[in-house]
Structure 1
Amino acid sequence: MTKYRVAVDIGGTFTDLVALNERTGEVLNIKVPSTPKEPAKTVIKAFQKFLNETNDAEVSVIVHATTIATNALLGQLDLELPKTALIATSGFRDIIEIRRQRRHELYNLFLQKPRTLVPRRLRFEVEERIGPKGEVLTSLNKNQVESLAKQLKRENVKTVAVTLLFSYINQKHEREIEKILKKSLPRTYISLSSEIAPEYREYERISTTVVNAVLTPVISSYLDELQRKTRKLEVKAPLCIMQSDGGITTKNLISKKPVSMVESGPAAGVIASAFYGKLLGINNILSFDMGGTTAKAGVIKEATPEIVSEYEVAGKVHSGRIVKGSGYPVRHPFIDLAECSAGGGTIAWVDEGDALHVGPVSAGAEPGPPCYGRGGKQPTVTDANVVLGRLNPKYMLGGKMQIYQKLSEKAILEEICRKIRLELTEASAGIIKLVNAAMAKILRIVSVERGHDPRNFVAMCFGGAGPMHSCALAEELEITKIIVPLNPGLFSAYGLLAADFRNNSIKAFMKLIDDVDVRKVEAVFQKLELQGAKLLNKQRVSRGKMHFIRQMDLRYYGQSYELTSSTSKPFTERTLRKTVESFHKKHETIYGYAVEKERVELVNIRVIAVGLVKKPRLKEKPLNQEKPEKDAIIAQRKVFFEQDNEYVKISIYKRERLKAGNVISGPAVIEQYDATTVVYPDWIASVDRFGNIVLSMKNGGN
């Protein structure tokens, strides 16, 4: 039997399966259209295709990324949210509805806030009170909780969020409530805020716990169904899930804390970029992923993906930024991403003032762009690329999927040209310019707005549509080097195979640095490391593969938000001074200033428990001559380039026939099974020893 590690990533348009042969390092790539209403069905379809193509496959592990959690909160059909109850300290049940004083549309008099996930009639209060130092001021009224348990049973509540005041310091009362509820309601899911988000900021802690409670039945049901169906195919491998912070965890653990996987899919691409960067010796990378529905940008600085500690789930996106107050705040580590509605399936349209727009609506997998021939009528970015000659006008997926150029032309002529009197080429080029402008903006958000100069970074461009737009975006940001990985359309799925197990533990510790007892801090670090080690043990990670990262959340005294700084062990006075110095430097990098004489406050102590997994081995190939073989050129085609403002007849290369060491001078187009790379006139494409396409500006960009 041949052992494979399998990764499955569900996208808005396609679902990708990557199977890694553990002995040879060879990779099998499979792409099937997504079925958004039945995500498990698509995964099984991809698995069936994989098993049909391999006679003696034995799957050792399945790693999965999915957006089902976000889709449920966005109100996707067939993903009905379960009946959820909230138990809060007496007088505090309405915090979840009062929220913060934020209006995501400041001047909209008819503003609709996000629907409250727990209706008021299912928000209950209990008599109890823990003080700000963890002291018990009022004991829990257990009779009241027992009575409440009976009421929840009558209401047929499926899941409960328990969010008591100051429980992040002392979880005694939350534990007592859990014990009573489990006795009366053994099949009801229970989420405790002291476990889900044990840190201060009351509203955010409640919001995070409620989101977790709402998602628990949805995710548990989906993963149970998926595992049941894979086992019917005789695949009995353990199921692991990608988390929002770029780490993986087991099915059993994620089922209890699904709030940690709401941005599961987008995180995988950044992890793949970081893995490739280490392999190629590149520390600073701008990760750019353009798929069928959205485009996403992330940043890897000094070989480490940038992480944020809060995210607004199911919020509205404006100019690549999640609008504060438009979604549900979640306190959990997330890979720092900016995204916009700019994918291959994003629809172009004309407004009442005769202005051309692209997005935010997408044609998705069903019906898809008109050129797919599945009934789509509205023109998309993919159709514009077909008209401009950048995409193969006859087929995709190596000939397995037919393309209808006439349908693309018809859609753009009827929906765009006739309304604003543009020629077909003008309209198509305009669509590409608009979508490129939106994507350049998200790249600036994760670089310039975070204090990074994009000119000092290498762009890693992937996704089915990413390499087609990479040169235009690089020119806009003055980036002189681009990496297009071997299988860009399946690259995010590849990132799943490179991800380590990752568990986050946090302890609130509100103290001024001058008052910190380093021995107490060291004791907290050791306790959190022990918790992390226990979780890794449950995930069958051996002690030798465990690695612990220590961090501290710091801020200037009086500030509202903190920055996370790494620290080392053992924690001594010297370590403390170095960590504070690191905080000052980080503050200056992000905000442009540091006040070293100002008092610094320690807010939280964090430990990331990492379980190292065996990384995929990329096959190295010997370098060949610069000139590609004659059979690498499969056609000549007229392609439109905005620099020339006309169609240019160029060579079309088949990527599978290019060899390491080959060099192609732009303009050119390189086609492959899962993506198309457009090499602009001022660029040179070379194939490195791993089969990646390295795009470099001619004359170094001068």
Structure 2
Amino acid sequence: LTPLNKTQVKSLAPQLKRENVKAVAVALLFSYINQKHEREIGKMLKKSLPKIYVSLSSEVAPEYREYERTSTAVVNAILMPIISNYLNELQRKIRKLGIKAPLCVMKSDGGIATKTIASKKPVGIVESGPAAGVIASAFYGRLLGIKNVLSFDMGGTTAKAGAVKEAKPEIISEYEVAGKVHSGRIVKGSGYPVRHAFIDLAECSAGGGTIAWIDKGKALQVGPISAGAEPGPACYGKGGKQPTVTDANVVLGRLNPKCMLGGEMKIYPKLSEKAILKEICKKIRLELTEAAAGIIKIANSAMAKILRIVSVERGHDPRDFVLMCFGGAGPMHGCALAEELNIAKIIVPQNPGLFSAYGLLAADFQNTLVKAIMKLIDKVNVENVEADFQKLELKGAKLLEKQHVPKMYMRFIRQMDLRYFGQSYELTIPTSKPLTTEILRQTVEKFHKKHMAIYGYAVKEEPVELVNLKLVAIGLIKKPKLKEKPLSGEKPPKDAVTARRKVFFEKDSSYIETSIYKREKLKTGNRIDGPAVIEQYDATTVVYPNWTASVDKFGNIILSAKNGGN
């Protein structure tokens, strides 16, 4: 080992101080093998500059790819002062309210972390908001005995999709941040790579506030620009002039033409019509209904694409999944998306606009530890790898102890990153303990099967390389219990129907006289045949013709296709 040039490191401190540097990322070429020098540099910098934040690549992403490891350390360094200050202020305000419970933060891998860990490794909370929605979908799926769930969250600016397979969220190991390309998946070169465990999410610019517009080629486009909350869609009456997805839904009769948020917010349908007529109809000679339906069709197409990304492109058949629709706008588009993907069943949770918060309540403490190996499987010493896994378990246990998790609630999941020799990407495969030659063989066989499912081929004759060992250290927490409601009859109460209005449906290409229901009035066991619209404070559910809606014992709306989704 070449000795560290401490004089050179010491000379950096005055320069960093002069330039008022608040955070530093340290990345040495072979630190994934030996952390000693990075740690020494970190200690020396902290000694000279006590207030500086130091991000070590060997702690943030101890993997062999130096560019991705460095990029991850840099992103982490950028976030450290921001997140630390934010969480400190948040905790101060929480304490001021008299709340003494520890502050925990949602992570991108679907777990939670204490304030201390989140502040030290903030790169782990990138995309943590959408991750909570997928965890909530997994939690509800387990509650209802459903193992495969497609999570769909549509809000004001974007729509997000994720997959839960065999009751577990799908996880990826790399993401790109701050990219100029807005895509539903990682696009190489579109941003800065981050090596970390992320729930596999796909995203598109299709939310309630997404603006529809005509491009230079006279084609109708939807997104990526959003009207936001201020001024918002034209129908809000706050000065918005551009037509949005929400305005299109107002014109098509799907949203209440008088108010939203249970009557707290007035709606102006004429402003929606005016915006679409001026910005769309006049420019490409479409009728008002045609233009509004076109906006919804384009938005639905983009959202169906992200659902395909997390299902079809990952080797899964969407017909084997149930669609969980939430977010303020999600339940309005659920039936259209399910029909596009031949999904026969949709769940709309009791509070769609607040659903992601359930994910925070259902998430466990979770830490992923990594050790780089970089050896061909036939060169692997099983005893050495087992010893490495045991060391990772000890580290994982210490991390959970710091988060006050009792030993009886600790769980450890072992994984291996495998690839065919020469490939630049790997697949994460679960493995068992203790590791034996037979278990290693079974793990490699799982790799071949997963490679076939995702990429359409497997080459069993090719040598397989063990890239990383991974250990997921989990601290189980007590899950919330949902109250079951007493069963009523199939027929909804008379006062559940609040109005009737004409609603446009694509397959009929016409407006249909439709009953409008108040969700709060519906009882467990009630059944509604589509077409119907179910309104509540935080969302609107549109039940298409040839679909039925029923209320389960937890208050969820279950939408079922009469033709089985075909």
Q: Same fold (TM over 0.5)?
A: yes
Q: Which residue of 2 aligns with 1:253?
A: 117
Amino acid at match of 1:676: T
Amino acid at match of 1:667: P
Q: Which residue of 2 aligns with 1:460?
A: 324
**C-alpha deviation, 1:563, in angstroms:** 0.7
Structure-to-structure mapping, 1:545-694, within 5 angstroms: 545-694=409-558
Q: Which residue of 1 aligns with 2:86?
A: 222
Q: Kindly indicate whether residue 259 of structure 2 is the aligned counterpart of residue 395 of structure 1.
A: yes
CA contact (8 A) 2:185 2:201 kept: no
Structure-to-structure mapping, 1:241-280, within 5 angstroms: 241-280=105-144
- CA displacement, residues 20-64 of structure 1 (integer Å, 9 cap, x when unaligned): xxxxxxxxxxxxxxxxxxxxxxxxxxxxxxxxxxxxxxxxxxxxx
Q: Which residue of 1 aligns with 2:396?
A: 532
**Secondary structure of the equivalent of 1:321?**
coil
**C-alpha deviation, 1:286, in angstroms:** 1.1
Q: Which residue of 2 aligns with 1:293?
A: 157
**C-alpha deviation, 1:597, in angstroms:** 2.4
Amino acid at match of 1:146: K
Q: Which residue of 2 aligns with 1:324?
A: 188
Q: Kindly indicate whether residue 289 of structure 2 is the aligned counterpart of residue 428 of structure 1.
A: no
Amino acid at match of 2:533: V
CA contact (8 A) 1:191 1:213 kept: yes
Q: Kindly indicate whether residue 248 of structure 2 is the aligned counterpart of residue 384 of structure 1.
A: yes
Amino acid at match of 2:287: E
- CA displacement, residues 309-329 of structure 1 (integer Å, 9 cap, x when unaligned): 000112244553332101110
Amino acid at match of 2:227: A
Aligned residues: 566
- CA displacement, residues 445-497 of structure 1 (integer Å, 9 cap, x when unaligned): 11111111111111111111111001111111111111111111111111111
Structure-to-structure mapping, 1:112-191, within 5 angstroms: 136=1, 138-191=2-55
Amino acid at match of 1:658: L
- The share of aligned pairs that are identical, in percent, is 78
Q: Which residue of 2 aligns with 1:343?
A: 207
**Secondary structure of the equivalent of 2:240?**
coil
Q: Which residue of 1 aligns with 2:74?
A: 210
In 1: Cα distance, 2:559 partner to 2:468 partner: 43
In 2: Cα distance, 1:271 partner to 1:312 partner: 21
Amino acid at match of 1:574: E
In 2: Cα distance, 1:614 partner to 1:375 partner: 47
Q: Which residue of 2 aligns with 1:363?
A: 227
Q: Kindly indicate whether residue 56 of structure 2 is the aligned counterpart of residue 192 of structure 1.
A: yes
In 1: Cα distance, 2:95 partner to 2:263 partner: 32
Q: Which residue of 1 aligns with 2:303?
A: 439
Q: Which residue of 2 aligns with 1:231?
A: 95
Amino acid at match of 2:313: E
In 2: Cα distance, 1:701 partner to 1:238 partner: 45
**Secondary structure of the equivalent of 1:694?**
strand
**C-alpha deviation, 1:667, in angstroms:** 0.2
- CA displacement, residues 112-145 of structure 1 (integer Å, 9 cap, x when unaligned): xxxxxxxxxxxxxxxxxxxxxxxx1x21111111
Structure-to-structure mapping, 1:503-542, within 5 angstroms: 503-542=367-406
Q: 1:475 aligns with which of 320, 335, 339?
A: 339
What stretches of structure 2 of length at least 5 have no aligned partner?
none
Question: Taking structure 1 as the reference length, what is the TM-score of the superposition?
Answer: 0.79
In 2: Cα distance, 1:277 partner to 1:163 partner: 41
CA contact (8 A) 1:315 1:324 kept: no
**C-alpha deviation, 1:538, in angstroms:** 1.2
- Flag as ranges the 4+ runs of structure 1 deviating above 4 A: none
**Secondary structure of the equivalent of 1:255?**
helix
In 2: Cα distance, 1:352 partner to 1:571 partner: 61
**Secondary structure of the equivalent of 1:507?**
strand
Amino acid at match of 1:422: L
In 2: Cα distance, 1:406 partner to 1:313 partner: 40
CA contact (8 A) 1:319 1:441 kept: no
CA contact (8 A) 2:431 2:439 kept: yes
Q: Which residue of 2 aligns with 1:408?
A: 272
Distance 1:366 1:322, change over 3 A: farther
Amino acid at match of 2:409: K
CA contact (8 A) 1:506 1:607 kept: yes
**Secondary structure of the equivalent of 1:634?**
strand
In 1: Cα distance, 2:407 partner to 2:84 partner: 29
Amino acid at match of 2:512: V
Q: Which residue of 1 aligns with 2:179?
A: 315
Amino acid at match of 1:413: L
**Secondary structure of the equivalent of 2:564?**
helix
In 2: Cα distance, 1:699 partner to 1:180 partner: 68
CA contact (8 A) 1:316 1:322 kept: no
Amino acid at match of 2:34: N
**Secondary structure of the equivalent of 2:305?**
helix
- CA displacement, residues 265-311 of structure 1 (integer Å, 9 cap, x when unaligned): 11011111111111111111111111111011111111111111000
In 2: Cα distance, 1:553 partner to 1:348 partner: 43
Amino acid at match of 1:424: L
**Secondary structure of the equivalent of 1:520?**
helix
